[in-house]
């Protein structure tokens, strides 16, 4: 039985310099950056592009390490689901270790990371419209 996953919601490209990586993908590969975001207190800097239904997220530290060349790698991806609580219950019934769903950065969304049973792929699931907008993380 499935978990109601509808599509790949986003793919993360992790980097030691997310701004430089996003710039490379934008200027060289024509992927338009739609949103730039920093999370105060975490030092994280994220930039986002959207290719049809899939968001490409460039994530990394707010301050790139000095003197290092930019390095990036695929950092995991997220499936969109229709009912995250039911999806978590189904995954746990299959023996997967799954986080409790929690408010995501995306307005109104809940997210849960899947800790095993993914053949080494960092994976999470997300449900949009799961929370009132004001309960979403800043």
Partner 1 sequence: MTVKRIDHVGLVVKDLAEGVATFEKHFGFIADGTRGGEIEPLGIKNAFVPVGESDLEFIQPITEDGPVARFAQERGEGQFLLSLEVDDIAATVEHLRGLGVRVADPSPGGVAFVSMKSAFGVNLQLVQRG
Site for partner 1, residues 55 to 114, rule: CB under 8 A: 56, 69-77, 79-80, 91, 94, 96
- For partner 1, give the closer residue by CB, 4 or 136: 4
**Is residue 117 a contact point for partner 1 (CB under 8 A)?**
yes
* Inter-CA distances, 74 with 11, 15, 34, 91, Å: 8, 9, 20, 24
Give the 3-state secondary structure of 100-116. CCEECCCCCCEEEEECC
Binding mask 10-39 for partner 1 (x = CB under 8 A): -x-x-x----xx--xx--xxxx--------
Residues binding partner 1: what is the number (CB under 8 A)? 44
Concatenated DSSP letters of 74-110: EEEEEEEES-HHHHHHHHHHTT--BPPPEE-SSTT-E
* Footprint on this chain of partner 1 (rule: CB under 8 A): 1-8, 11, 13, 15, 20-21, 24-25, 28-31, 51-54, 56, 69-77, 79-80, 91, 94, 96, 117-122
């Amino acid at each position: 039985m499935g978990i109601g996953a509808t599509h790949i919601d986003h793919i993360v490209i992790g980097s030691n310099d997310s701004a430089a990586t996003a710039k490379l993908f934008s200027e060289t590969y024509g992927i338009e950056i739609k949103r730039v975001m920093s999370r105060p207190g975490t030092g994280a800097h994220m930039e986002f592009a959207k290719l049809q239904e899939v968001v490409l997220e460039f994530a990394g530290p707010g301050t790139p390490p000095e003197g290092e060349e930019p390095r990036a790698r695929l950092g995991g991806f997220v499936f969109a689901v229709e009912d995250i609580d039911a999806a978590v219950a189904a995954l746990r019934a299959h023996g997967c270790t799954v986080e409790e769903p929690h408010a995501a950065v995306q307005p109104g969304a809940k997210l849960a990371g899947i800790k095993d049973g993914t053949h080494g792929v960092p994976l999470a699931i997300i449900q949009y419209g799961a929370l009132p907008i004001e309960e979403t993380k800043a």
